[in-house]
Amino acid sequence: MRKLDTRTIVVASHNAGKIAEIADLIGPFGFSAKSAKDLNFVEPDETGTTFEENAAIKALASAEASGLPALSDDSGLVIDALDGAPGVYTANWAEREDGSRDFAMAMEKVERALTERGANEPSQRTCRFVSVLCLAWPDGHTEFFRGEVEGTVAWPPRGSAGFGYDPIFQPEGHERTFGEMTADEKHGWKPGDAAALSHRARAFKLFVETCMEA
């Protein structure tokens, strides 16, 4: 594993929600970071069929464009009753014809698909959020960190916090959805904490323990 020897990185994302969460996570470590969106980098086509492939595409593009290490996230909702869908196509399910994204529409699409399969009970609506972080260097070296959190698909959506599918994801062992949790409750994690809740925070915990600690 290659250690990160700088605190200057690029957050390889154009997604405002992801940028905000990653900023929250890296803030305590004294990073100087700008996002690919801030730097007006071209958003690469995510042509991979796995979270790892898509995370690498984004991180390598920003590392090459900036000459700095770049950290990307590729994440999605994996629903057992839908054979793993939407999975790597989680964002695509929210796309409208004009290219904009409507996650209320995407959540309704998920619910219709589950209803069509007769998945009405919580035990039939198991799912997990997956996050894969990729840290890429300008020389093409990459490191990957995968975090997952188990849960169930709730309906109707609850809460307006977070972003994406958060209002329908109820993590295992909790009564509230991610959409009902504060940012600190959902993805707050600091060194010394035994556990992290969200998929992104769990991936970030691995990143810190692997690349930043001696």
Residue 213, pLDDT score: 54
Alpha-carbon distances, residue 103 vs 91, 110, 144, 155, 172 (angstroms) = 8, 10, 27, 14, 22
Residues 6 or more apart whose CB falls under 8 angstroms from that of 100 comprise none
What is the set of active-site residues?
74
Q: In what order do the strands lie in the sheet with 169-171?
A: 32-35, 8-11, 70-79, 126-136, 142-153, 169-171
Q: What is the pLDDT of residue 174?
A: 96
Q: Per-residue pLDDT tens, the chain, 214 aa: give them.
A: 888 888 889 999 998 888 888 888 888 888 888 999 999 999 999 999 999 999 999 999 999 999 999 999 999 999 999 999 999 999 999 999 998 899 999 999 999 999 999 999 999 999 999 999 999 999 999 999 999 999 999 999 999 998 999 999 999 999 999 999 998 899 878 777 768 899 999 999 999 888 875 4
Tell me: the pLDDT tens digits for 130-147? 999 999 999 999 999 999
For residue 93, the 8-state DSSP code is G
- Domain chopping of the chain, boundaries: 8-211
- Domain 8-211 bears CATH identifier 3.90.76.10: no
Say if pTM beats, i.e. exceeds, 0.75. Answer: yes
As given in the structure block, the two tokens for residue 164 are 């994406």
Question: Which residues, in sequence order, are CB contacts of 147 under 8 Å at separation 6+?
Answer: 130, 131, 132, 133, 196, 198, 199, 200, 201, 202, 203, 204, 205, 206
